[in-house]
Structure 1
Amino acid sequence: MSDAVSALKGARASGMVELADAGPTGMITLRGDLGVLGGALASVLGLSAPEQRRVVSGEAGEVLWMSPDELLVVLPYDKAPEAAAALEAALGDAFATVAVVSDGRALIHLSGAQTRDVLAKLMPVDFAGFETGELRRSRVAQVAAAVWRRSDNDWSLICFRSVADYVFASLATVAKPGGEVGLYR
């Protein structure tokens, strides 16, 4: 990954939550019938297609439900080209698209007990009852993003790399001590 593409370059910030750039991360967009895509995922990565607004995790990586005909595979950066080729082969002549989008996306990790409060300041999402393994596509500070809950206090957010610095800076700003909301306790 070139320096021009790696916008965040390992950025970290502390405040009400811990923010961290995940660094180079492999991402593959799959478009098509989710049943067909799920079969290819199972044979190549041992992962299934997730239910609506959910994430499936395994040793090979994660599969995120993005829309009724779109999945996003998140895996180690160096594994993405090989996995994409294997998925294309497994799909054969099925009506589907496989695209490596690793260099066009950024992954930010958020952790801490107040993560939902920080996210709620920038996203029009009700985080009450937001479960582990749940995913939501929305906007963060008016920028397209997807966020999912990994555990009680660990979350991940994906956005376009071209706006990653802006998203990271916005999150760091609203996470500064003194801005506690206390909505989600």
Structure 2
Amino acid sequence: MAEALARISQVQDWGMIQIRADLERAGDAIAGAAGLAVPGRGRVTSDGSRKLGWMSPDELLLVLPLSEVAGTLAALRDALSTEHALVLDVSDMRAVFRIHGARARQVLMKLCPTDLSSMPEDGLRRTRAAQVACGIWREPEGYVLIGFRSVADYLRNLLTTAAAPGTQLDPR
């Protein structure tokens, strides 16, 4: 029996906080409360258990252990109390998948119209998987894909089908 191109697994224990603010003006306050440097355009900063991803010129996504969301949410709201900002727990709105294995990139290349081969190790891409909006970043063993929870089953099926044995891309 042929082996799948990658292992697909859904992550259940991550929390996510959306931060919308003037990043130039509020960057130091965000960094202090989040415990991570504000990343550059299309980048992710990380300390292992937390990741802070650049989503747009005025938006960041903080990914952290679910158990730390409430405390971090309060710290961010306090740090940004004098700024025009939005800090929102979006953990229940998102679905997270890991795509791991030697051909993880090939699985995503079938679904996403973005050049993952040029994405740096600390890169983050907002793109789509088929017709579904998503964000993608690298991990040591592959990639992480975040999408809306309302389409989690669809995303899981897309990823599983793209990773199925015998579906590798023609190397030509």
Asked if TM exceeds 0.5, the reply is: yes
Matched letter for residue 149 of structure 2: R
Unaligned runs of at least 5 residues, structure 2: none
Partner Cα distance (1:100, 1:177) in 2:
37
Matched letter for residue 132 of structure 2: V
Deviation at 1:182, TM superposition (A): 5.5
Partner Cα distance (1:62, 1:19) in 2:
21
Q: CA RMSD in A?
A: 1.7
Equivalent residue number for residue 170 of structure 1: 158
Per the normalisation by structure 2, the TM-score is 0.92
Equivalent residue number for residue 44 of structure 1: 33
Counterpart contact for 1:30–1:98, Cα < 8 Å: yes
Counterpart contact for 1:24–1:77, Cα < 8 Å: yes
Task: Give the match's secondary structure for 1:144.
Answer: strand
Counterpart contact for 1:45–1:60, Cα < 8 Å: no
Per the normalisation by structure 1, the TM-score is 0.86
1:118 is the counterpart of 2:107: yes
Task: Give the match's secondary structure for 1:19.
Answer: strand
What CA deviation, in whole Å up to 9, does each residue of 1:6-45 have, x standing for no partner?
A: xxxxxxxx82101111113100000011124421232223
Matched letter for residue 38 of structure 2: A
Counterpart contact for 1:66–1:72, Cα < 8 Å: yes
Equivalent residue number for residue 98 of structure 1: 87
Equivalent residue number for residue 72 of structure 1: 61
Out of 129, 134, 137, the position equivalent to 1:145 is 134
Q: Which structure 2 residues correspond to residues 22-37 of structure 1 after superposition, within 5 A?
A: 22-37=11-26
- In structure 2, relative to structure 1, the CA distance for the partners of 1:59 and 1:178 (3 Å cut) is closer
Identity percentage of aligned residues: 42
Partner Cα distance (2:96, 2:142) in 1:
13
Matched letter for residue 159 of structure 1: G
Counterpart contact for 2:34–2:62, Cα < 8 Å: no
